[in-house]
Structure 1
């Protein structure tokens, strides 16, 4: 390697380090500005006056929310009604869904909520496992297959083996 090649390489490395430092400082400053200007989740809810889980008048604690322990049929998570399911519109746009307006009467605060039923029209199949016919719902995005209690009973309650797989819901 010649002296000119070594000098060119050293200059290139020095320029790259300088540029990386400059980019890091700009990113840190922009991140600080963004963090300072963004209201916290509590501030947003208080400003709106409406609970983001149930739609009622804002209440301070989840323990007083009518959506507490309600399971959303969109995402199967708990503590929010279906109409307050948080996903991007882009994510929901490809799904076929039917919206049914129903009266919420189980809670202290009666509210109308939308119940969303979704899915592919042909996603339910009958399969045969050990010569026993059971109904399943196809979920190509799932990493595990889960049987409900009825299917397990129909299969004759086979012996289960311990597993190290953890399933997050």
Structure 2
């Protein structure tokens, strides 16, 4: 297999470093792995070192969560730190374990909205409101939803 060109290797490394500094190790890992296969040996070495750091941190950060509430609480903590990719992962696990948990759907709506996926956010919020109508008024007054309420699909559901 031929090594990727140096500019592609450098782009992968830059992308990975941005994610690494945001503490999004799951997203950074594949980019570091790609940069580690490039022809520039110094970039490849740095990429492999950082990939190993990502793996170590992911191992430390991967708690053993069994219940929907465990996954929800961990996902919410990640969302509060704006680690949205990880938050989504744990909230989706919580939803698999408790498909009608309106608080999980509400939190997923917020995470998807913060990620910029307004259609998915609107879908989750609509489900949360269908299960628990008081989620509509909660979203109106929730400071975390303030900016999202300006977006058309969310606005239609809440107002």
TM-score by length of structure 1 reads 0.27
> Which structure shows the higher strand fraction?
1
> Which structure shows the higher helix fraction?
2
TM-score by length of structure 2 reads 0.28
Max Rg structure:
1
